[in-house]
Each structure stands twice: as structure tokens, then as C-alpha cells.
């Protein structure tokens, strides 16, 4: 069960699962085949999720075919057009075209690698000629979220971080 903040978009929302269900802060949240966001607060029977479309959201991502990394930034104004913004993609010889799949990168400290974000819809070389930026059509329809899947193992636990031990 999901409750949002009353807007048309699920920028932040609450789910009816919490620590009693294994949900933790930094648990990754999916819907269908795509990344929705990350748990930012958790109680025994609820969790607060910040979606990747929220203005405060930044996700380290990469182009699936080239492994070139970029940043995907949330922007609620862009979301009304059904798009996310990406930036800081190196302007190298690697070809990235509309339709390219974008996934979470290995660089991220909180998101598991390889979670599907969406498809490149537009891409341009930035004025500095060193980087490229553009837009992504997200895999998830953020106006129609009804159910989400929470991955209860965090990136920190998978990589042997400080909260990965027994009994902590």
C-alpha cells in the first residue's frame, strides 16, 4: 500500500512496510522493471521513499552499452513532460543515442548496480565540449504507482560496509 503527499507525482511517498518486514534506510525501491527510489526513513510498520523524480534526488547512473557514468537528477517540472535529466556524461568517442538503456552505476554508494532507470530520449554535447547531457524517459510511470518492490539488502551490506555484520 502506498500513500503519497497529495500531488499527482510520487516524489516522496510512504509504504506500509517497515523494519518488522526487513526494510531499512537506503533500501532500493523498484516498480515493474524500473527504479523508483530509495528508503529515507523507516519505522516498524512504514517507510518513507524518495523517488528518483524528486528535486532532491541524484542517482549515479551509466549507459548500459558503454558503461560511461553520468548523474540522473530529479526534477518535478520535467516529470510533467515524462522525463528525467542526466548530466556529466563524458564527451568521448563512445556513441550514445536515443533509446540507450540507463542503469544505476557501480559508483553509487547507495544504489545497487544495474537497476534499470529508463531510456535516453535526447542527448547533446555541453558548451564546455567535455561532457554531454540530455533527457531520459523513465521505466516507471510515477503517476500510477500502486505497488513497489523493496530490496531489503542494502548496497552497504552487499559490499561489506559497516552495518553488514551479524547482530548489528
Q: Domain spans of the chain?
A: 2-53+143-158, 58-138
Q: What is the pLDDT of residue 81?
A: 80
Burial 46-64 (b: 16+ CB within 10 A, else e): bbbbbbbbbeebebbbbbb
Per-residue pLDDT, 80: 79
Q: What is the pLDDT of residue 125?
A: 97
Select from 3.90.105.10, 2.40.10.340, 2.90.10.10, 3.30.40.230 the CATH code of 2-53+143-158: 2.40.10.340
Query: What integer pLDDT is reported at residue 75 of this predicted model?
Result: 87
What pLDDT score was predicted for residue 114? 96
Q: What is the pLDDT of residue 145?
A: 85
The count of other CB atoms within 10 Å of the CB of residue 4 is 17
Please check whether the domain covering 58-138 is classified as CATH 3.30.420.40.
Answer: no
**32 vs 112: CA distance, rounded Å:** 16
Stretches in the chain below the pLDDT threshold 50: 8, 163-168
pLDDT of res. 3: 54
pLDDT score, position 96? 95
Is there a shared CATH topology between the 2-53+143-158 domain and the 58-138 domain?
A: yes
Answer yes or no: are the C-beta atoms of 126 and 132 closer than 8 Å.
yes
What is the model's pLDDT at position 165?
Answer: 39
**pLDDT for the residue numbered 5:** 52
Amino acid at each position: 500500500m502506498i500513500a503519497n503527499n497529495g500531488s499527482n507525482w510520487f516524489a516522496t511517498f510512504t509504504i506500509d512496510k517497515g523494519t518488522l518486514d526487513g526494510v531499512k534506510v537506503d533500501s532500493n525501491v523498484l516498480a515493474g522493471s524500473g527504479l523508483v527510489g530509495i528508503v529515507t526513513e523507516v519505522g516498524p510498520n512504514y517507510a518513507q521513499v524518495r523517488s528518483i523524480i524528486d528535486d532532491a534526488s541524484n542517482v549515479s547512473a551509466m549507459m548500459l552499452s558503454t558503461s560511461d557514468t553520468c548523474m540522473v537528477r530529479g526534477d518535478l517540472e520535467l516529470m510533467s513532460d515524462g522525463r528525467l535529466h542526466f548530466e556529466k556524461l563524458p564527451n568521448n568517442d563512445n556513441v550514445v543515442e536515443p533509446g540507450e538503456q540507463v542503469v544505476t552505476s557501480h559508483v553509487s554508494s547507495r544504489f545497487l548496480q544495474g537497476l534499470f532507470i529508463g531510456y535516453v530520449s535526447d542527448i547533446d554535447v555541453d558548451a564546455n565540449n567535455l561532457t554531454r547531457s540530455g533527457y531520459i524517459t523513465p521505466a516507471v510511470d510515477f503517476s500510477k504507482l500502486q505497488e513497489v518492490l523493496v530490496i531489503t539488502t542494502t548496497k552497504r551490506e552487499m559490499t561489506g560496509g559497516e552495518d553488514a555484520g551479524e547482530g548489528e
